Amino acid sequence: MKHRVHLRDLGQMRFAAAWALQEELFEAMVARKIARRRAGLGETEEHPDLDLALPEGHLLFVEHPHVVTLGKSGKEAHLVASKEQLERLGVEYFPINRGGDITYHGPGQLVGYPLLDLDQIFTDIGRYMRTLEEAIIRTCAEYGLETSRIEGLTGVWLDADKGLAARKIAALGVKSSRWVTMHGFAFNVAPDLKFFDLIVPCGIQGRGVTSLEQELGREVSMIEVQNRVHRHLRELFDWEEI
């Protein structure tokens, strides 16, 4: 049976509220898995008791007001701006529990938070990350942009083979426990790229950041991009939407 996943478009939401929602959904999924294991059920075994049914996943789409987040493996030195400068610009700051380094979220950026039970899909975090990247690579291709990966780095890049000329268009950072995921990806559709000057994006020195609109030289519909990313994620992970 396919993993059952709820789609939720949160619209514009401050980071703290979206993080709290993620934590609530994540903890409920993990608690369900613990209860099932205590009942002696297999990872994909069906059960008529709703309290022991397979965990259902969630895909949250959101656009955040200006915020900088620092992953648990990141370095605060990669925050170039002072806390006073962030406050003047109206940029919030949160050290959080995802992997990865420092990143910026803001208006014009499509953020996706898949909360999935990988026991129902595949238990491979590396493959999971590459699959998230692939959804964005395929979306960019629909706009005529060739994007790819850089070995040893996460994210999606233009001109990935051109050294310091490479430009990142999407960043990734996730958390996983008991094969349940949270956090996800940030796809630069049309953000104000000047805000990336506040940080060393993802802790990677010397490489640039770009957006879909900057590369295309025209406006792009956020909902159109979201729908395309959503379609590719659904096809690649082969879940059942509910």
Q: Largest Cα–Cα distance in the chain?
A: 56
Closest CA to 234 of 83, 132, 101, 87: 132
CB-CB neighbours of 82 under 10 Å? 10
Do the Cβ atoms of 183 and 113 come closer than 8 Å?
Answer: yes
Start-to-end Cα distance in the chain: 14
Strand 167-177 relative to strand 156-158, pairing: antiparallel
- In the numeric block, the tokens 């994909």 are attached to 44
**Is 202 tagged catalytic?**
yes
Cα gap 219→217, rounded to integer Å = 7
Cα gap 154→127, rounded to integer Å = 12
Do the Cβ atoms of 115 and 57 come closer than 8 Å?
Answer: yes
Burial of 237 (0-12, 13-18, 19+ CB in 10 A): buried
**Which residue is catalytic, options 199, 202, 212, 233?**
202
Cα gap 49→190, rounded to integer Å = 46
Residues known to be catalytic = 202
